[in-house]
């Protein structure tokens, strides 16, 4: 099938702050569809395996964490170990357990630095889906910035196939979705764009969200998913991940809302804001897990996770009695011999 490239975002200078709205996905029709990685192994002509099977592989420009680090300007250059940990942690954030719903995820990421990055360096923002499944690039010239730009920002693109996917909940051939088959994440590496390690982590974590199919919540007049938005901050802060229908997310008791680009409510700051990255007193720049209820909700919507309930006390009692019965029966049989 023909691959289609989708523009994901530009993250502007993080010092310009706005409030967020809620969860956004790409290539959807209401709650139907959405761009997501296939849960089952998928071979794509020319680039090989492209799916969540075995974990999403990522590589960095330059072939090593040290080489990639040295492509950026720093107010205090991190050690190679610190930079490596920062990049790995930015991916690992997306695998954390939702503290409110208790839902985990099937998402996994694997560093694959032996696979050379293949990107589009013409400054036009296009994607080259070869390389690893997610390639990390450093660019002085991109779609949303040119040489000499000093904003600390990034842009992400992914390529999709218009076909069904298997969901992480086990649903086969989920209709309406488009399978992500490659993503390029580019960060501004102009000499005047000077990073510190906390901002680099926050920005990269945000961009990885786009590589997973998350949209920006505060640009392009986006329509967003929520359960009860009524124009107030309180209705944007609640957790709704448990409301997702894991076998058919489109049938979840959720709705699409459109409230424009203007700030909606003070005190609502989430990672997937293009302007500000959700940095606030309640979600500080050094927060090691900056995901909010909305990020966990969209993760559950795109990659539904079926939680295994803790065994009840009655179930444990039944299991203990069963084991006791089995042990006694074996003892009797042994005595008969």
Which range marks the domain in which residue 183 is found?
Answer: 3-302
202 contact partners, CB below 8 Å, separation of at least 6: 14, 271, 277, 279, 285, 290
Average pLDDT over residues 279-300: 93
pLDDT at 99 over 60: yes
Average pLDDT over residues 37-66: 95
Most confident of 15-24, 105-114, 123-132, 236-245: 105-114
Q: Quick one: what percent of the chain has pLDDT higher than 70?
A: 79
pLDDT of residue 260: 54
pLDDT of residue 86: 98
DSSP state, residue 4: E
3-class SS of residue 307: coil
Average pLDDT over residues 264-280: 76
pTM as predicted = 0.85
Average pLDDT over residues 109-137: 92
In a domain, 312, yes or no: no
In a domain, 258, yes or no: yes
Half-sphere exposure (CA, 13 Å, Cβ side) for 68? 26
Quick one: pLDDT band at residue 16, thresholds 50, 70, 90? very low
CA 186 – CA 155 distance, rounded (Å) = 5
In a domain, 217, yes or no: yes
Three-class secondary structure assignment of 50-64: CCCCCCEEEEECCCC
In a domain, 324, yes or no: no
pLDDT at 247 over 80: yes
Quick one: pLDDT band at residue 250, thresholds 50, 70, 90? very high
In a domain, 121, yes or no: yes
Q: Which residue has the higher pLDDT, 72 or 46?
A: 72
Query: CA nearest 266: which of 228, 236, 298, 225?
Result: 236
In a domain, 333, yes or no: no
Number of domains in the chain: 1
Average pLDDT, the chain: 83
318 contact partners, CB below 8 Å, separation of at least 6: none
pLDDT at 287 over 50: yes
Quick one: pLDDT band at residue 162, thresholds 50, 70, 90? confident
């Amino acid at each position: 099938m023909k691959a289609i490239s989708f523009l994901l975002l530009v993250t502007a200078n993080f010092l310009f702050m706005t409030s967020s709205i809620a969860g956004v996905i790409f290539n959807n029709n209401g709650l139907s569809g959405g761009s997501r990685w296939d849960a089952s192994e998928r071979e794509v002509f020319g680039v090989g395996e492209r799916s969540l099977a075995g974990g999403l592989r990522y590589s960095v420009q330059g072939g090593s964490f040290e080489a990639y680090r040295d492509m950026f300007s720093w107010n205090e250059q991190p050690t190679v170990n610190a930079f490596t940990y920062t990049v790995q942690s930015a991916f690992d954030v997306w695998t954390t357990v939702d503290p409110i719903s208790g839902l985990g995820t099937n998402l996994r990421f694997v560093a694959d630095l032996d696979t050379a990055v293949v990107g589009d360096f013409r400054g036009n923002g296009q994607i080259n889906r070869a390389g690893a499944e997610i390639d990390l690039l450093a660019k002085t010239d991109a779609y949303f910035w040119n040489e000499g730009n000093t904003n600390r920002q990034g842009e992400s693109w992914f390529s999709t196939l218009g076909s069904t996917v298997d969901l992480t909940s086990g649903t086969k051939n989920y209709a309406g979705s488009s399978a992500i088959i490659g993503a390029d994440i580019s960060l501004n590496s102009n000499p005047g764009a000077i990073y510190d390690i906390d901002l680099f982590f926050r920005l990269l974590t945000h961009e990885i969200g786009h590589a997973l199919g998350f949209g920006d919540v505060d640009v392009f007049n986006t329509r967003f998913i929520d359960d009860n938005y009524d124009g107030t901050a309180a209705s944007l802060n609640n957790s709704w991940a448990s409301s997702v229908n894991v076998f058919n997310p489109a049938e979840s008791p959720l709705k699409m809302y459109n409230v424009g680009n203007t700030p909606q409510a003070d005190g609502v700051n989430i990672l997937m804001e293009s302007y500000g990255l959700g940095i606030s007193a309640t979600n500080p720049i050094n927060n090691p897990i900056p995901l909010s209820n909305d990020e966990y909700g969209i993760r559950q919507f795109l990659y539904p996770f079926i939680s295994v309930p803790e065994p009840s006390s009655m179930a444990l009692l039944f299991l203990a009695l069963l084991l006791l019965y089995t042990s006694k029966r074996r003892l009797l049989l042994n005595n008969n011999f």
